[in-house]
Amino acid sequence: MNHTCLNCNQPVTTNYCGSCGQKSSTHRYSLRHFIEHDLIHGVWHVDKGILYTVKELFTRPGNSVREYILGKRANYFNVITLLLLTATISSILSHYSNLEYSVLVSDNIKDKMVSIQELMTSYLKVFLLLMIPFNAIFSYIWFRKAGFNYSEHLVLNAYKTAAEMVATVVLTAITLFFDKSAALVTSYFLVFFIFSLIYGIWFYSQFFSQSGYSKAGLVFRSLMIPFSFMIFQSCAGYIWGIISFVINK
């Protein structure tokens, strides 16, 4: 085998290009190739891709993401693509689900609540991505002894958020089988809150298990990350309220 790589035009003598890593035996697309390779192998392959990544996130989340950050990346699906994909699916399902936040409030502010719900549904991906940098700051602060830099904390929190988005997809799909009610909305948020809390402890404790922390220290620091974020949200909301009051006065 001796020819030129179709991707970078460098000479190739093996099955993969030594310059860019592309497989040397590329060929024209056909419907069969698209279905068998791109769809089945690229998306649903159990050894790599979406299913493999999701499986790892729900069986050994911290260990798998730590291995990914340390360089074992060939089998994992791109975290940003996974985030956008799950957020998009969740947004679509939200339009058909029986979750109506307005059932929790009085009639005189229902219209405002509906508008807020529509805004959150439309810009879910933006809200989701904006949360990751702040979670990364707090995980960096509470686990700074572990030696991972801020960018690595961004990656680990992105994968954690992706797992939580998969959970919202499942929970939102379940709501399709129930009637609209305040109990449904309350149950949805309660289940997600409990899941997010337990998963966060599991995720962070496993990820930093080799960084010299005690088990109690791992649990405590894992809990302090969402707690710190809630304090930050409250302070930011309070400051924004004061600014809005002064501007509109």
Mean pLDDT of the chain: 81
Range of the domain at 98: 78-248
Residue 48 is assigned to a structural domain of this protein: no
pLDDT tens digit sequence for 186-238: 898 899 999 999 999 999 999 999 999 999 999 999 999 999 999 998 898 88
Distance of alpha carbon 173 from alpha carbon 196, whole angstroms: 17
- pLDDT at residue 100 greater than cutoff 50: yes
pLDDT tens digit sequence for 134-182: 999 999 999 999 999 999 999 999 999 999 999 989 998 998 888 888 7
* Residue 4 half-sphere exposure toward CB, CA atoms < 13 A: 5
Q: Which two tokens stand for residue 126?
A: 């933006």
Residue 217 is assigned to a structural domain of this protein: yes
Residue 181 is assigned to a structural domain of this protein: yes
Total structural domains in the chain? 1
Nearest to 120 by CA among 172, 77, 46: 172
> Could you tell me the pTM of the whole model?
0.77
* Amino acid 18: pLDDT: 74
Residue 22 is assigned to a structural domain of this protein: no
DSSP for the chain reads --EE-TTT--EE-SSB-TTT--BS------HHHIIIIIIIIHHS-SSSHHHHHHHHHHHSHHHHHHHHHTT--TTBPPHHHHHHHHHHHHHHHHHHSS--GGGGS-GGGHHHHHHHHHHHHHTHHHHHHHHHHHHHHHHHHHTGGG---HHHHHHHHHHHHHHHHHHHHHHHHHHTTS---HHHHHHHHHHHHHHHHHHHHHHHHHHTTTTT--HHHHHHHHHHHHHHHHHHHHHHHHHHHHHHHHHH-
Residue 204 is assigned to a structural domain of this protein: yes
Contacts of 76 (CB under 8 A, 6+ apart): 48, 52, 53, 56, 64, 68
Residues 102 and 113 sit within 8 Å (Cβ to Cβ): yes
Instruction: Give me the phi and psi of 15, to 5 degrees please.
Output: -70, -20
Please report which confidence band the pLDDT of residue 29 belongs to, taking 50, 70 and 90 as the band edges: very low
**167: left (phi > 0), else alpha (psi -120 to 50), else beta?**
alpha
Distance of alpha carbon 157 from alpha carbon 245, whole angstroms: 34
pLDDT tens digit sequence for 46-98: 456 788 899 999 999 999 999 989 988 878 888 888 888 888 888 788 778 77
Residue 31 is assigned to a structural domain of this protein: no
Instruction: Give me the phi and psi of 209, to 5 degrees please.
Output: -65, -20
Residue 4 is assigned to a structural domain of this protein: no
Residues 76 and 101 sit within 8 Å (Cβ to Cβ): no
Which position has the higher pLDDT, 249 or 137?
A: 137
Distance of alpha carbon 169 from alpha carbon 92, whole angstroms: 10
Residue 35 is assigned to a structural domain of this protein: no
